[in-house]
Structure formats: structure tokens, C-alpha cells
Chain A
Amino acid sequence: MNSAAAMAAHRARLCVAIFSSDPSRVSELSGIVLRAGYDITSDVDDADVVIADGSIRPPNHPAVIRLGDIDDRESANALPKSASPEQIGAAIQAVAVGLSVRVRSARSQGFAAASDVKPEFLLTPREIEVLEALAEGLSNKAIARKLDISQHTVKFHIESLFRKLGVRSRSQAVIRGLPSLSRTRFEI
């Protein structure tokens, strides 16, 4: 274990140093880091993890996450500019304990054929509306009101959704259903 990893193991909250030539980007990243439950430091030597964006040469530190404007997305500990707060938070945790992270890229998926969903697993337009309402955390009553249908009909659509997605709970339906929708959608 390197020294940063040893420190990370002993400290209650991880300390993150942020480097960017753009002050507004620094404050944006600080917000993300604080909301993820980590502390901010300006001292590289005190930091468990350093985040440096593409505008700046990262300081010498064993645990650096590079962010944005990086040509090769496959290199370790390099996240795209568009990385989500969840991805940044998880990357800090991982890099602090000596792991390296990378984004699953389009390239690693390879050149692929347009995929087909079997007709029996396709959702109807109504089921998609219900799924999106589930993602907002709405109750059956609220969904019924929103879509102007009866609660009985909402239940019917949810049962059909569960069957097509192969899930047993509302949260599972959202976790499995939404990504599959966005994977099969095309802008043409």
C-alpha cells in the first residue's frame, strides 16, 4: 500500500485537492466533491486524492484523477469532462485505496450492429410513460392522475412492465428499464 492509501485508510473523511486553470470549474468540482462527502484541501501533500482537469498539468501525486479533454479515454484514472457527480465520487473512493478507474467507452464495446429487441419484450407507449413516472418516484395514485387513467389500469401496466423487464420491484424496473430504453433509441 502506498502512503496515500495508508493515510486514506486511517482518516475518517478523504481529503481532495482540485486543480484547474478555470476558477468556476474549481468551485463546481468543489461542490461535487463536498456533496459526495469528502473534504477539500489546497495542499497537495495533505490530499488523499488529486483531481486535475484537462487545462492543467497534474501535480506529482500517487492518486491523481484527470478530468476532461483527454484524448485517450482508455488510460487509467482519466474521466471525460462529462463525468457525472456519481462517477467522480466513486472514482475518488477507488483511487484513494489504490485502485485505478476508467470509463467504459464506446470503443471497448466495439463496432456493433443496430440491435433489435424481441417484440414480446418491447414496451408499449403507455408502459414507457408509466416507467418514466416510476422513475420520478410517483405513487400509483399520482401516476393515475398524471396519465388520466384509473389506478386499476396503472396496476395492470406495472404488472406488464415487470413481466417484460423480468423484475419484481419498482426500483428494479427503473434500473433495468430506463437504460434499455436509451440503448434502443436512435436520433436519425
Chain B
Amino acid sequence: MAMGEKSDLLMKLSEALAARADEAKSSVAAIGSARGSLSGVLWRNDVLVTSAQSLPRRESYDVALPNGQAQPATPAGVDVSTNIAVLKLATPQQAQPLVGRVPKAGELVSAYGADSAGGVSVRLGTVIAVGDEWHSLTGGRIDKRLGLDLRLSRTEEGGPIFDMTGGFVGMSTLGPFRRVIAIPASTLERIVPVLLNHGRIARGWLGVTLQPVAMPEAFRQETGLSAALMATSIKADGPAAKAGVLAGDILVSVDGKGTRRLRDVLSRLDSDSVGRHIELRVIRSGALRTLSLTIEARPRE
């Protein structure tokens, strides 16, 4: 019997996966520079989205599309804190509309990558877990925690991930120990338009370096906290300096909410926080005191 005549479940699955890949490949592109390439998502006719951590900073990139076309693209914006970089294509393409979807744990997803010769690669895996929003090391808010059980090479990072309904799960990103996560579609939808308009994400800024510390015994009961954040250095003329924060102050709450961890402060510094007045409770020389601070925009690096 010829292979083509067989039609059991596995054959059908395999064929369906290949058909999905054929549909998805028009949404992936290779972004090349002299030192290799990474992958990107064709977000709109003239917009590519990719992984900021792996994109070398250049004036221009060589983009290879799966239809065999090659063309230059220019950087349009980057936000390291959510790992999103946006490029503008010189010649608009026919982009497939992306419909964002949050998958459930256990679902099958495919991650797509491209190489500079126009080839497309496909990886298959399950969604390991779906968690709540989280904050990156650099303070970016990611709407969902999406861990994926698949391997990805460096050149495949930044490409699109689709579920089996054709829903757009997000952009692939390498985490610690090369574990693969998705920057969710909802985070891209929130950040990409801002990057296209402004080139960066304005973030609230306090101008202080905070170190998590164990709460001194004497204040555990009064504050109800086992840990807090100590100011170790203050940026001159920054918001914290203007509010009178001193090195050595221990921050225990912002607007009455306990600051046990850095994310308790980070979560209050989104782009709409700029200009907002907040109240800080700090421990200084053994006594609690209140300082008021006006959040400013983080200065450009």
C-alpha cells in the first residue's frame, strides 16, 4: 500500500500540522545583519516585531521574507523591558491579520522561525503553564506567563507562535537556560502601537536604587511585613531626591500598600503613572515617616 493511501490518526495529525505551517509562514521573516539572523513576526503590512534582547542595534537590517523577497528594514522602536523591538519595512507586504488568543495549559502550539535564505522552520510543543502577569528584570509588565515545551535555536527567536485554531499566541523569546516563553499577543498589542508612535515606552521613574532587605525585628509587628526595600543610592535631582528620600531609608509602603518586593513598586510605575503623586512610608533612624513624591518619566538612556 502506498503511503498516500494510509489515513490513520497520526497521518491526519501530521498533514494538519504541515497545512498549518503553510498558512503561518507568511507571518514570519528573517532579520539579518552581518553576524547572523533572528526571526520576526510580520505584524502589519509594513511592520515587523522581534526580540529586542537579540537584535543588534543597527541603522538598517536585511529582511528575508518566505516569499523569497529580500528588502531593508529600519528600526522604529524598542522596549527592552518587555523585549519588544519594532522594524519598518521599506516595501509593504500582504500581512495575514493576527488574532490574539491565550491558550490553555496543555494545548499544542507551533513556533516559527526563518533563515536569511527565506527558509521557514517549525517547532511543535505544548503550553507548559499559563500564569498571571509578571514583571521582567527591567521592570516591564508581561500580561501572561506562557511557558512552552519546545526547543528554539537563536536564529528562530522572535518569530510567531500559533495555536492549533490559528490563534496568535505571541512572539517567541529565550529565557534563562534557553527556556522558551511567549511574549503574549496582548502585551504586543499594548506595546507595539506605542513604539510605532513614540519609539519607546515612557515609564514612571523614582530615581532610587532599592535593595530588598529583611525587615528589622522592631518593625515587623507595626508594618506587618517580613521584608522591605532599602534605598542604597539616590539619583541627584531625581524624584526621590526631591521628595527627600535618603540613602539608608527603608521603604515599607507606597500609598498604603506594603512594598515587600520590588514588583510591588514596579507595578505602580506604568506609563500612565508619570506625574502622579504618591505617598511613601519609610523607616529612618528607627522611626516611621511619610514622604510625598511626584513620579517623573524615566530619562532616555
**Residues in A lying within 8 Å of B, measured CB to CB:** 71-72, 75, 106-107, 109-117, 119, 122-128, 181, 184-188
Contacts and interface: CB of A to CB of B under 8 A. Distances in A.
Nearest to A124: B214
Contact of A111 (B53, B213, B226): B53
A52 to B, nearest CB: 18
Given A110-B53, A125-B230, A181-B211, 4 more contacts: A119-B226, A125-B250, A187-B208, A188-B208
Contacts of B260: 119
A9 to B, nearest CB: 33
B275 interface: no
Interface string B133-172: 0111101000000000000000000000000000000000
Contact of B137 (A113, A117, A122, A123): A113
B227 A111 contact: no
Interface in B220-278: 226-227, 230, 232, 235, 248, 250, 260-263, 265-266, 269
Interface in B179-214: 179, 181, 205-206, 208-214
* B contact patch SS: mixed
Nearest to A74: B35
B130 to A, nearest CB: 15
A111 B212 CA distance: 21
A128 B265 CA distance: 22
Contact of A72 (B56, B216, B250, B269): B56
A102 B87 CA distance: 29
A111 B206 contact: no
A185 B210 CA distance: 6
Nearest to A188: B206
Given A71-B35, A111-B174, A122-B227, A185 B232 contact: yes
A72 B57 CA distance: 10
B287 to A, nearest CB: 14
Contacts of A124: 213-216
Interface string B47-68: 0000101101100000000000
A186 B175 contact: no
Nearest to A183: B137
B145 to A, nearest CB: 8
A119 B224 CA distance: 13
B137 A115 contact: yes
B136 A114 contact: yes
B177 to A, nearest CB: 7
B176 A110 contact: yes
A114 B35 contact: no
A73 B35 CA distance: 11
Contacts of B208: 187-188
Given A119-B227, A125-B216, A125-B248, A111 B210 contact: no
A23 B235 CA distance: 34
Given A71-B35, A72-B56, A128-B213, A111 B83 contact: yes
A109 B263 CA distance: 20
Contacts of B210: 185-186, 188
List 10 A-B pairs, minimum CB-CB distance, nearest first: A122-B214, A110-B175, A110-B176, A119-B226, A124-B214, A187-B209, A72-B35, A185-B211, A111-B83, A110-B174
A66 B180 CA distance: 32
Contacts of B226: 119
B178 interface: yes
Contacts of A112: 136-137, 175-176
B37 interface: no
B181 A111 contact: yes
Nearest to B203: A188
A184 B211 contact: yes
A127 B211 CA distance: 13
B173 interface: yes
Contacts of B215: 124
A122 B261 CA distance: 11
Nearest to B265: A188
Given A107-B54, A119-B226, A114 B214 contact: no
A79 B134 CA distance: 33
Contact of B213 (A71, A123, A186, A187): A123
A116 B206 CA distance: 20
Nearest to B298: A188
Given A110-B175, A188-B205, A188-B266, A71 B56 contact: yes
